[in-house]
């Protein structure tokens, strides 16, 4: 199934986790991809996987700090120049930082919002002219189950993802008559570098949560569907498949909404 034949796709967070899995999925379905990330070793790993898959001839990688305006402006210009335009933007890059809210410093708060919310805005703003010119542009943003369900110690992260969700609704209506679709995915109970570090499954505190975190508060965060790994979390390829549907013509009548991918954790 080559749903992305002739499609030009820019994916951030391409060096690991869901972003990396999405690069592989879109390439497997015929797309031409620029994968962007702040971490060069991660991008090298993504390229190695594409080479093993036999799809590396349609992959270009570049570095970007999505929280830095100048970096985003340069990266999007470079990416769209290489691709000769743009049909799909996937804003998968993001960070998770956890702390008691009463101990959350302004630096931590600003860092999380700068990357997750402002970074999504900057990437989208810079990509919009080419997405609109394509006549069938798609923006896939990353919200989170944290945006609408209680995840303790993650107030900054939840606020950033709630902002992404609202931002997505706004641009979906603003540009609908110009052929643009904008959707969010809201992953939860997905194994990635971000979630494994946070220990958010409730089975392992992990380095991401405060040392004195009350793990009983995570008792309800258990997937209804079992995946068989240590956390009972699904792999990042699970979300990549949903993104591929939303960004392709199979999602042609889906816009201005979010799709939760959490194995029933919040059913």
Q: pLDDT by residue (tens digit) across 206-261?
A: 447 898 999 888 887 878 876 655 557 788 999 999 999 999 999 999 999 999 99
C-alpha to C-alpha distance for 208 and 195, rounded to whole angstroms: 9
| Alpha carbon distance 235, 24 (integer Å) | 14
Structure confidence by residue, pLDDT tens digits, 151-166: 999 999 999 999 999 9
d(CA 39, CA 35): 11
* Domains and their CATH numbers in the chain: 8-192+237-261 (3.40.50.720)
* pLDDT interval class at 199 (50, 70, 90): very low
Q: Which of 157, 175, 218, 231 is catalytic?
A: 157
Identify whether 157 is a catalytic site residue. yes
DSSP summary character for residue 42: H
Full-model pTM: 0.92
Average pLDDT over residues 41-62: 98
Give the residue, 111 or 215, on which the prediction is more confident. 111
Mean pLDDT, all residues of the chain = 91
User: What pLDDT, on the 0 to 100 scale, is given for residue 220?
Assistant: 77
């Amino acid at each position: 199934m080559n749903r992305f034949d002739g499609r030009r796709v820019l994916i951030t967070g391409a060096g690991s986790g869901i972003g990396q899995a999405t690069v592989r999925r879109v390439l497997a379905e015929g797309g031409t991809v620029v994968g962007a990330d702040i971490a060069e070793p991660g991008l090298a790993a993504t390229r190695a996987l594409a080479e093993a898959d036999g799809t590396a001839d349609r992959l270009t990688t570049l570095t970007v700090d999505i929280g830095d305006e100048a970096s985003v402006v340069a990266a999007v210009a470079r990416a769209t120049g290489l691709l000769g335009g743009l049909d799909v933007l996937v804003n998968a890059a993001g960070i998770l930082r956890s702390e008691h809210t009463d101990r959350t410093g302004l630096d931590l708060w600003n860092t999380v919002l700068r990357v997750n919310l402002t970074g999504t805005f900057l990437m989208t703003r810079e990509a919009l002219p080419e997405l609109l010119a394509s006549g069938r542009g798609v923006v896939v943003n990353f919200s989170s189950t944290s945006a609408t369900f209680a995840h303790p110690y993650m107030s900054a992260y939840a606020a950033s993802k709630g902002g992404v969700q609202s931002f997505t609704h706004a641009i979906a209506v603003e540009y609908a008559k110009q052929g643009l679709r904008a959707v969010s995915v809201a992953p939860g109970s997905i194994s990635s570098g971000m979630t494994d570090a946070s220990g958010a499954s409730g089975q392992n505190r992990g380095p991401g949560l405060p040392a004195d975190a009350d793990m009983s508060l995570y008792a309800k965060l258990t997937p209804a569907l079992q995946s068989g790994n240590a956390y009972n979390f699904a792999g990042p390829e699970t979300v990549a498949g949903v993104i591929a549907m939303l960004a392709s013509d199979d999602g042609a009548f889906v816009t201005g909404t979010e799709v939760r991918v959490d194995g029933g954790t919040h059913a």
